[in-house]
A = this chain, B = another copy of it.
Amino acid sequence: MADRVEDLAHAFERFPGIGPRQAKRFVYHLLTVSQSDRAKLSKLIEQLGADVRQCPECLRYWSGTNTLCNFCNDSSRDDSLLMVVEKDQDLAAVERANAYRGRYFILGGVLTLSGKGQIRERELIERVDRRIKNGLKEIVLALSATSEGEHTADRVREILEPLREHVTLSTLGRGLATGSELEYADAETLSGALINRKEA
């Protein structure tokens, strides 16, 4: 007889950041809730894909009835700017900052230094090509300041090289992050912060 506790624990172990012990805790938690609650969760998971879809333009996940997601559909946004991010959560962070009104494209991953990972190269080139004809002037490579992020930005720069006569490529500025102490900032962060100083 299948050991359902073990099977479900193994399924939860596939969740990001979840090991065997926490996976077991999830199962025991679910054992203590009502069958009705388990059924609700089950249904939400099963139907996650139902009307959550990928926007055909920026390739982020959203739920709605229009063909394009709200960011791609919004005519008030700036077509001269395209921001390339790794994943949906990064787009969410940028939107929360309320400081960008251009368009988006989700790479769907990062490239590790050891050669793993995948990004949507073909789709990116197709959109950039098309958008250049529609007024695109600058592409912001908004990757994390990690070695994977930089490696990925290098690759994107490489594949967009042929188009550099038509668009500017830019990366996010380095500087002091909120809450950080100057004493511990490394050389790259500090020189970025110095170059990027602004009138007080």
Residues of A whose CB lies within 8 Å of any CB of B are 1-5, 7-8, 11, 14-17, 22, 24-31, 33, 35, 38-52, 61-65, 85-90, 92-94, 96-100, 140-146, 149, 153, 157, 168-200
Contact = CB atoms under 8 A, between A and B. Distances in A.
Nearest to A172: B193
Contacts of A61: 5, 28, 31
Contacts of A33: 14
A45 B39 CA distance: 7
Contacts of A4: 44, 47-48, 50-52, 63
A93 to B, nearest CB: 5
B187 A100 contact: no
Given A89-B183, A143-B182, A175-B174, A192 B200 contact: no
